[in-house]
Structure 1
Amino acid sequence: MQVDLHGLFENNKSYDYDPDYEYKEVVCRSSTVSGALGVFMPMLYSVGLLCGLLGNGLVLAVLLLKRLSAMDIFILLLSVTDSLLLLTLPLWAVDAVKGWIMTPGLCKLSGVLFEINFYCGIFTLSCLIVDCCLSSIRGEQLFSRKKPVVICCLIISVLCLLLSIPDWIFLDAIGGSTDQGKLECIHHYLPDSWRLASRFPRLLSFVLPVLVLLCCCSFVLLKMERNPKCQQKKDSQRTAIIGVLMLVFLICWTPYNITFMVNTFQPTDSMSLAAAEDCEGRQWTAIKITSVFGLLHCVVNPIIYLCLSKEFRRRVLTMIKFSACKRESSKVSLWDSSGVNGNGSVQEEQGSRQPMNDIKLTIQVQDHDT
């Protein structure tokens, strides 16, 4: 009995592969990096958590024990957002070791607070530097009263919440099979076309404020170079604090935003889309490393206040010694040079004017007698 297999194997072909061809498997390179940083990152986050809560707690305590000025309200907003971000550091410490073992809701919340901290920082510093620029060039302060400042802070808060909506939608805890089933808290775009659309506001909100900050700083520096005496001494400390805050912010957040921008415009190969999605979180090694600077930025601001503001340093030392501040000192500015030794400077000024007042009084008495 013969079986006709001609039709079954008619189109069967064998292929000769090129001996120089090398099969390249999609390797998640960040798994080795995560292993190397698995011990260091939790320690770094723990130290940042302790120092950040202590520093921002002192800032909040000092501000709430005094009568708030216009700049105090902006600093208060920065400290609140920094404190909220600090509370997510334990989650990122666990993620660095074991992956994202928490719920997807905590993943979304942590990412949203991360973005809100960035937006609040860039918008608040933009308002402060614009106010400082107008004060230096025209001698006018944009935020000289509390009411405009409160309205501006409310607008910033609402804008931050609106811009964080894409993170509520696209952030999720996604797992892969190549890294022992560990979950990753990453952005997951079901239609890949949403990647650019959802990230464009994030990129725009970084580029435009940075241009504003650089332009305002250039105007202030040129004005001070042409006329060194144009600024009053009481504004020099405030300008220095705002300038250092802006510089540290750019140093901490620029690497992450550049990496985020490169990742956004990086083309996705449709042939390896499934493998890329499975390994997307572990391919984000650069973003994860640069995001550490953004996370730890909330620790630096209290150190800047402590180093540059003598009045803030005096109040902190007073609180540490458990001695009460004088009520009249609550009106003293923490950010102007005139606020240093507020009552002492006032008394010194009154004392210097006392001899002149005595002379005027003596002349008036002699004129009255004649």
Structure 2
Amino acid sequence: MDENLTDTMEDWGISEKTSFTGDDLINYSEYDNYNYSYNYSSDSCCGQVCTQHAMLSFDRVFQPVLYSLIFVLGLLGNGLVIAVLLQFKRTWNVTDTFILHLALTDSLLVITLPFWAAEAVHGWVFGTGLCKIVGATFKVNFYCGIFLLGCISLDRYLSIVHAVQMYTRRKPWVVQASCVIVWGVCFLMSVPDLVFLEAVKDDRRDGRTECLHNYSIDTAGQWRLFSRLLYHIAGFFLPSVVMVFCYTMILHTLGKSQGLQKRKAMKVILALVVTFFVCWTPYNVVIFLDTLVSEKAMEPTCEMQNFLDIGKTITSSLGYLHCCLNPILYAFVGVKFRNNLLDVLSTLGCNIKKHVRPVGRRGSNWSESGDTSYSGI
């Protein structure tokens, strides 16, 4: 056997007796799926390659059921939010625009879930082209969700804490431009998915064809580490720091205010942010542990890898469930949205009486700039 190849195998902890094909070696330890769930063929236990038979059985049952439920609820809920917002477009403020884009990005994200559910049952049968499109679509909308929440947080912080209007009614194009920039940046961050995602066979998963990142053997380590750092830093850590800082300062400022209306105006956005962290933090913890294992900072045993595989499936599903919760928050926390929704249902012939007081007029500069739409006022 070639000396360089033997040295590489020894670095991976694989003996020369391990059986695999040449193609398997080329793609060895270089696959990850759409949600950064890396399939490490390099993980070994007692000199044997770790297989995923138990994981496959778990995924075949768990993913199709839960993903189908999230798909239906997420599409209906976010579709309803978009419909209500468009119906009352003339009364929009800054936050309404961000919420519209947030509902749109959640809708596009859940549209990708049936493909991953089908992959869990039959493998990826849609070809490399659709693999790239679906994977990149998922990644764009995943990043957009947290970036839009970050934009909302920054706008609330400037308008409430510093009384600075980042967006005004006189320049409505500015908020639209901000959303376009967010979409553009997220698209750029998905370019590695467009380049490296392929429909490939994974012998560790019973030889099934799956939609995975297929890095070349020369650059596998660098690209894998880069994508993980991009996710950890830009996709979660930095936006989280921005949101925590902004809302800590906002709560401190509102705590000194005697206006009940201002405090109520924060309920929906705070609920959105708290829900985001509850849904996505467990997944990010598991992914961080998986990164430590992939970089050999932790011992890559079969037991550890199986634990991480199942953990990624469960916690990622909790994260996707976040797409269904935003519309529920609008309906049960936001008085304005609830009133507008009842108006829409009434025009459709539903005999529904409002049990909440209509939203009052905006009577201050703070209300124009710092008002959170769909708030509890």
Shared fold (TM-score greater than 0.5)?
A: yes
Shift, 1:59, TM fit: 0.7
Superposition map of 1:100-111 within 5 A: 100-111=124-135
Q: 1:267–1:223: structure 2 CA closer, same or farther, 3 Å change rule?
A: same
Whole-angstrom CA distance in 1 between matches of 2:116 and 2:306: 14
Matched, 1:47 2:69: yes
% same residue: 37
Q: 1:174–1:256: structure 2 CA closer, same or farther, 3 Å change rule?
A: farther
1:186 is paired with a residue of what secondary structure?
Answer: strand
Matched, 1:162 2:188: yes
1:185 is paired with a residue of what secondary structure?
Answer: strand
- Correspondence for 1:222 among 252, 257, 263: 252
Whole-angstrom CA distance in 2 between matches of 1:299 and 1:287: 19
- Correspondence for 1:78 among 93, 96, 102: 102
Shift, 1:281, TM fit: 11
Shift, 1:314, TM fit: 2.2
Shift, 1:128, TM fit: 0.9
Shift, 1:324, TM fit: 8.4
- Partner residue, 2:86: 64
Matched, 1:199 2:228: yes
2:210 is paired with a residue of what secondary structure?
Answer: strand
- Partner residue, 1:248: 275
The residue identity in structure 1 corresponding to 2:233 is L
Shift, 1:149, TM fit: 0.7
Matched, 1:28 2:51: yes
2:215 is paired with a residue of what secondary structure?
Answer: coil
Whole-angstrom CA distance in 2 between matches of 1:307 and 1:140: 30
Matched, 1:209 2:239: yes
- Contact 2:254/2:263 (8 A) holds in 1: no
> May I ask how many residue pairs the two structures share in their alignment?
298
Whole-angstrom CA distance in 2 between matches of 1:97 and 1:113: 21
Shift, 1:223, TM fit: 2.1
Whole-angstrom CA distance in 2 between matches of 1:98 and 1:282: 23
1:38 is paired with a residue of what secondary structure?
Answer: helix
Q: Give the TM-score of the pair, scaled to structure 2.
A: 0.71
Shift, 1:134, TM fit: 2.2
Whole-angstrom CA distance in 1 between matches of 2:306 and 2:226: 20
Could you list the per-position Cα deviations for residues 2-23 of structure 1 after superposition, in whole angstroms to 9, with x for gaps in the alignment? xxxxxxxxxxxxxxxxxxxx94
* Higher alpha-carbon deviation: 292-301 or 315-324: 315-324
The residue identity in structure 2 corresponding to 1:92 is W
Shift, 1:138, TM fit: 2.5
- Partner residue, 1:317: 342
* Higher alpha-carbon deviation: 147-156 or 191-200: 191-200
Whole-angstrom CA distance in 2 between matches of 1:130 and 1:107: 35
Whole-angstrom CA distance in 1 between matches of 2:158 and 2:295: 46
Could you list the per-position Cα deviations for residues 243-282 of structure 1 after superposition, in whole angstroms to 9, with x for gaps in the alignment? 111111122222333333333343467xxx9xx9xxx999
Whole-angstrom CA distance in 1 between matches of 2:309 and 2:135: 15
Shift, 1:36, TM fit: 2.8
2:192 is paired with a residue of what secondary structure?
Answer: helix
The residue identity in structure 1 corresponding to 2:347 is F
The residue identity in structure 2 corresponding to 1:81 is T
Shift, 1:232, TM fit: 6.1
Could you list the per-position Cα deviations for residues 47-94 of structure 1 after superposition, in whole angstroms to 9, with x for gaps in the alignment? 212211111111111111122321111011111111111211211111
Whole-angstrom CA distance in 1 between matches of 2:115 and 2:306: 16
Superposition map of 1:1-370 within 5 A: 23-29=46-52, 31-66=53-88, 67=90, 68-145=92-169, 146-190=172-216, 191-192=219-220, 193-205=222-234, 206-225=236-255, 227-229=256-258, 231=259, 233=261, 235-267=262-294, 284-323=309-348, 341-342=358-359, 345=360
Whole-angstrom CA distance in 1 between matches of 2:311 and 2:78: 28
The residue identity in structure 1 corresponding to 2:231 is R
- Contact 2:279/2:319 (8 A) holds in 1: yes
Q: 1:243–1:212: structure 2 CA closer, same or farther, 3 Å change rule?
A: same
The residue identity in structure 2 corresponding to 1:217 is Y
Q: 1:245–1:62: structure 2 CA closer, same or farther, 3 Å change rule?
A: same
Whole-angstrom CA distance in 1 between matches of 2:318 and 2:71: 13
Whole-angstrom CA distance in 1 between matches of 2:309 and 2:211: 11
Whole-angstrom CA distance in 2 between matches of 1:283 and 1:137: 42
Shift, 1:165, TM fit: 0.7
Could you list the per-position Cα deviations for residues 119-164 of structure 1 after superposition, in whole angstroms to 9, with x for gaps in the alignment? 1111111111122122322233322332221111111111111111
- Contact 1:163/1:202 (8 A) holds in 2: no
The unaligned stretches of length 5 or more in structure 2 are 1-44, 351-355, 362-377
2:199 is paired with a residue of what secondary structure?
Answer: strand
- Contact 2:106/2:145 (8 A) holds in 1: no
Whole-angstrom CA distance in 1 between matches of 2:284 and 2:226: 16
